[in-house]
C-alpha cells in the first residue's frame, strides 16, 4: 500500500515536471518567436526621406525616418506627387492644437506600388495607387461596417499626426518618398487621368463629391457653390458633372471668368446686394466652401423650399445661425467630412468616366513654405501639388 502510494506520487511528480518543462519551453519559444518577429520587422522597416515641420514658426526641412515593414495586408507605395491641403498648413504652423513635431504633412497622395503583402489581392507591383486623408479605423463600429470609416466612432486614423492603432508611432504623411498603408485605405485611379492632377481628388475631391452625392444633386437642380478655392473648384466640377445648373457665388469679381471656365453656368457676386436679393429662395443646394469668417444667413436666404446648405469650409470662429433663416423654407444645414473608402473609390471612378481632375500648380518640395504663404493670400489656382522627384 505504502509502496504503491509512493509510486503514484513519483509518477505525478514526473508528469508535473514534464508539463512544467513543456510550458516553460513553450513560453520561451513564444518569446523567441516574438523576438525574431520584431527583429525581422525592424530589419525590414523601410527608410523614407521626407520634408517635415520641426517647429511652428520655422520652414519645413529635410527629415529621414522609417516606414513600418510591409505587413500581410499592406501596400508599399513610391510617392510620385502629393497635393497641398490647407490642413497641412494649419498643422505645420501649429494653428490647430496638438501638432506632434517633427510633422510630415500630406494626405493627397498618388504613386506606384513597389510591393504588396502576402494577403493583398487588390493591388500588384507596378499598379497606380492613391492614399487619402485616412489610413485606418476601428473597422468594427456601425459606421465602419458601412464603409463610412471617415465617421468611425473611435475616430479614423489620419494619414499624419495621429497615433497608429497598433501603438507603433505617429502617422506620417505624403511629403515623403514612400508610404506603407493597409490595402483597405488604398485606391485605384485611371492611367487616362493626369496623375499629378489626380492627387487633390483624395481630399478636396472627395470632400465635395460626398455631400453633393448624398444630397442627391442631379439634373434640374439649382446648385450654388460659395467660395472658389481648392474645395470650391472641385465642387463646381462635380455639380456640373451631376447635371445641375451651377452658380458660383463669390465676393471676388475676377473669379467670374474662372467659374465659367470650370463649367459653372452663372456667377453671383456676393457683394452685390441687388443680385443677392434677386436670388433669395432660389437654390436647392448651396455647397458652402468658405473657410473665412462669414454670415451664414446671407447664404441661407438664398435657399428654396427644403433647401440644404452643405458645409465643407471651416471658419476659424463658430458662426452664428439665425433660426428664422432656417425655419423659412424648411432649410437644413448639413455638415460633411471627407468620405468613406467605397465612396472614395467611386469618386475616382467617376472622375475617370467624366475626365475630372483638379486644376493644379506643380511645385518642387523646396518651395513648400512659399506655397503655404501664397495659400494664405488665396494666391493659388486651385491646388499646389508637390513633385516628389524633387525630394
Q: Which residues bind Zn ion (CB under 5 A)?
A: 85, 87, 137-138, 141, 144, 152, 203
| Backbone CA torsion sign across 237, 240, 243, 246 | positive
Q: What is the spatial distance between Cα 201 and Cα 198, in angstroms, rounded to a whole number? A: 5
Q: What is the spatial distance between Cα 138 and Cα 182, in angstroms, rounded to a whole number? A: 13
Q: Which is nearer to Zn ion, 256 or 359 (CB)?
A: 359
Length in residues, the chain? 391
Q: Which is nearer to Zn ion, 325 or 386 (CB)?
A: 386
How far from each other are the two terminal CA atoms of the chain, in whole angstroms?
85
Q: Which is nearer to Zn ion, 150 or 250 (CB)?
A: 150
How far apart, in Å, are the Cα atoms of 323 and each of 283, 296, 297, 300, 320? 19, 11, 9, 10, 9
Contacts of 302 (CB under 8 A, 6+ apart): 224, 249, 276, 279, 280, 281, 282, 283, 286
Give the shortest CB-197-to-Zn ion separation in angstroms: 16
Give the shortest CB-351-to-Zn ion separation in angstroms: 17
Q: Which is nearer to Zn ion, 152 or 356 (CB)?
A: 152
Give the shortest CB-152-to-Zn ion separation in angstroms: 3
Q: Which is nearer to Zn ion, 182 or 301 (CB)?
A: 182
Give the shortest CB-323-to-Zn ion separation in angstroms: 32
Q: Which is nearer to Zn ion, 145 or 367 (CB)?
A: 145
Q: Which is nearer to Zn ion, 138 or 269 (CB)?
A: 138
Q: Which is nearer to Zn ion, 158 or 307 (CB)?
A: 158
Q: In what order do the strands lie in the sheet with 303-311?
A: 266-269, 245-250, 222-226, 283-288, 303-311, 332-335
Check: CB of residue 318 under 8 Å from CB of residue 335.
no
Give the shortest CB-137-to-Zn ion separation in angstroms: 5
Give the shortest CB-384-to-Zn ion separation in angstroms: 12
Burial classification of residue 175, based on how many CB atoms lie within 10 Å of its CB (0-12 exposed, 13-18 middle, 19 or more buried): buried
Give the shortest CB-145-to-Zn ion separation in angstroms: 8
Q: What is the spatial distance between Cα 179 and Cα 67, in angstroms, rounded to a whole number? A: 7
For residue 179, give the nearest of 60, 75, 54 by alpha carbon.
75
Contacts of 133 (CB under 8 A, 6+ apart): 107, 150, 158, 159, 202, 203, 206, 338
Give the shortest CB-108-to-Zn ion separation in angstroms: 7
Amino acid at each position: 500500500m505504502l509502496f504503491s502510494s509512493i509510486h503514484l506520487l513519483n509518477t505525478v511528480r514526473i508528469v508535473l515536471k514534464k508539463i512544467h518543462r513543456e510550458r516553460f519551453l513553450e513560453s520561451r519559444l513564444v518569446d523567441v518567436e516574438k523576438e525574431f518577429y520584431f527583429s525581422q520587422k525592424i530589419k525590414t522597416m523601410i527608410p523614407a526621406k521626407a520634408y517635415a515641420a520641426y517647429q511652428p514658426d520655422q520652414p519645413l526641412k529635410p527629415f529621414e525616418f522609417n516606414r513600418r515593414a510591409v505587413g500581410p495586408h499592406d501596400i508599399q507605395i513610391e510617392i510620385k506627387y502629393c497635393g497641398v491641403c490647407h490642413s497641412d498648413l494649419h498643422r505645420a504652423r501649429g494653428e490647430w492644437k496638438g501638432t506632434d513635431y517633427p510633422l510630415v504633412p500630406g494626405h493627397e497622395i498618388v504613386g506606384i506600388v513597389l510591393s504588396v503583402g502576402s494577403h493583398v489581392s487588390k493591388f500588384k507591383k507596378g499598379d497606380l495607387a492613391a492614399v487619402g486623408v485616412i489610413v485606418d479605423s476601428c473597422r468594427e463600429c456601425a459606421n465602419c461596417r458601412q464603409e463610412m470609416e471617415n465617421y468611425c466612432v473611435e475616430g479614423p486614423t489620419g494619414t499624419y499626426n495621429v497615433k497608429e492603432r497598433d501603438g507603433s508611432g505617429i502617422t506620417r504623411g505624403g511629403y515623403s518618398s514612400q508610404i506603407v498603408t493597409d490595402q483597405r485605405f488604398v485606391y485605384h485611379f485611371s492611367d487616362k487621368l493626369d496623375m499629378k492632377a489626380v492627387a487633390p481628388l483624395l481630399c478636396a475631391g472627395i470632400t465635395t463629391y460626398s455631400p453633393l452625392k448624398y444630397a442627391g444633386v442631379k439634373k434640374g437642380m439649382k446648385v450654388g457653390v460659395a467660395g472658389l478655392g481648392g474645395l470650391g473648384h472641385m465642387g463646381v466640377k462635380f455639380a456640373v458633372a451631376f447635371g445641375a445648373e451651377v452658380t458660383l457665388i463669390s465676393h471676388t469679381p475676377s473669379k467670374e471668368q474662372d467659374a465659367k471656365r470650370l463649367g459653372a453656368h452663372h456667377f453671383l457676386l456676393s457683394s452685390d446686394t441687388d443680385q443677392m436679393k434677386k436670388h433669395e429662395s432660389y437654390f436647392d443646394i448651396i455647397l458652402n466652401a468658405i473657410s473665412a469668417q462669414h454670415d451664414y444667413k446671407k447664404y441661407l436666404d438664398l435657399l428654396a423650399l427644403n433647401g440644404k446648405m452643405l458645409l465643407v469650409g471651416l471658419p476659424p470662429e463658430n458662426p452664428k445661425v439665425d433660426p428664422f433663416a432656417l425655419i423659412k423654407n424648411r432649410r437644413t444645414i448639413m455638415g460633411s467630412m471627407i468620405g468613406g473608402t467605397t465612396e472614395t473609390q467611386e469618386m475616382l471612378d467617376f472622375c475617370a468616366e467624366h475626365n475630372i481632375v483638379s486644376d493644379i500648380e506643380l511645385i518642387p518640395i523646396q518651395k513648400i513654405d512659399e506655397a503655404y504663404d501664397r495659400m494664405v493670400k488665396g494666391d493659388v489656382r486651385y491646388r499646389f501639388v508637390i513633385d516628389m522627384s524633387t525630394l
